[in-house]
């Protein structure tokens, strides 16, 4: 339900975050199924990306090679190379066929312990390495209950994007993902999402100017399913969706992709 009343010219962008799921067989099958089921809209009416685990990126790249579904990674390290055991650089991700990379996902912030400064370095490194970062921001349940959503999102935005020029900013997508809605089955209402998306666009305008702010895509993420994707996408400042659980089923993910443009 991409509402006919919606004024934006921003192209919808739907990304699937597979997290630590799939194996060498199911990752290829999932990528192939997404390609065949979204062929009529992917890349033309809507940008589509899937983000497999690191070890399946190259197989994913092969499965997506003759399609317009893009490949993304779930994380990146900020150094270019060297003695950083276990880490993966932007150059390596580019070499593996990635276009996008998720930076500052809430599971990395709250499970692994990444802070805003580290996330900011990752955003810079991604752009320097020729990738398009998806910067995730969002408040915890206790922060929402304490009326701290604006404060938290403003801090994550300002620190996460510190030092970027307006030109570099045009490579970035923002994903608003309230932590209380991720993997919980609780979704923000379209109005709750729009409220924070409007705040994010206002913050972007203050720092980068109205033109850039009007061009940046802001995704919503948090228990998106085929039956709520349309109403979320109908909101003026919801330009796309970052999908976790539902991206592991090709038919659900494709239904979400199609709901974004119908």
Contact positions toward ligand PEP, by CB under 6 A? 17, 177, 182-183, 221-224, 242-246
Single out the catalytic residue among 107, 114, 143, 177.
177
Q: Is 142 a catalytic residue?
A: no
Least distance CB 19 / ligand PEP (angstroms)? 6
Nearest residue to ligand PEP by CB is 244
Least distance CB 186 / ligand PEP (angstroms)? 9
Q: Which residue lies nearer to ligand PEP by CB, 230 or 244?
A: 244
Tokens of 59: 């197989």
CA distance 246 to 260: 14
**For residue 186, what are the CA distances in angstroms to 5, 14, 115, 176, 230?**
27, 19, 25, 14, 16
Q: Which residue lies nearer to ligand PEP by CB, 50 or 208?
A: 50
Question: What single DSSP character describes residue 14?
Answer: E
Closest CA to 183 of 251, 112, 243, 108: 243
Least distance CB 242 / ligand PEP (angstroms)? 5
- Phi and psi angles of residue 134, each rounded to the nearest 5 degrees, phi first: -110, 105
Tokens of 116: 């805003």
Q: Is 177 a catalytic residue?
A: yes
Q: Which residue lies nearer to ligand PEP by CB, 200 or 208?
A: 200
Active site residues: 105, 177
């Amino acid at each position: 339900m991409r509402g006919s009343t919606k004024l934006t010219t921003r192209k919808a962008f739907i990304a699937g975050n597979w997290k630590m799921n799939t194996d060498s067989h199911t990752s290829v099958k999932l990528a192939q199924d997404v390609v065949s089921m979204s062929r009529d809209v992917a890349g033309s009416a809507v940008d589509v990306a899937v983000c497999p685990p690191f070890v399946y990126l190259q197989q994913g790249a092969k499965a997506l090679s003759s399609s317009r579904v893009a490949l993304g990674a779930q994380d990146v390290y900020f150094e270019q190379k060297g003695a950083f055991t276990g880490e993966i650089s932007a150059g390596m991700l580019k070499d593996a066929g990635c276009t996008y990379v998720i930076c500052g996902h809430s599971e990395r912030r709250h499970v692994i312990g990444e802070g805003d400064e580290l996330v900011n370095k990752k955003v810079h490194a991604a752009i320097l390495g020729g990738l398009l970062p998806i910067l995730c921001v969002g408040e915890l349940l206790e922060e929402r209950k304490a009326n701290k959503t604006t404060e938290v999102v403003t801090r994550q935005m300002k620190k996460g994007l510190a030092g970027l020029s307006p030109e570099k900013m045009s490579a970035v997508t923002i994903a608003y993902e309230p932590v209380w809605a991720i993997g919980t089955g609780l979704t923000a209402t379209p109005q709750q999402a729009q409220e924070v998306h409007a705040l994010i666009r206002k913050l972007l305008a203050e720092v980068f100017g109205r033109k850039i702010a009007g061009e940046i895509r802001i995704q919503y993420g948090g228990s998106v399913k085929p039956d709520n994707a349309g109403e979320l996408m109908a909101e003026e400042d919801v330009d796309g969706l970052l999908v976790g659980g539902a991206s592991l089923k090709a038919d659900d993910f494709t239904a979400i992709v199609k709901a974004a443009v119908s």
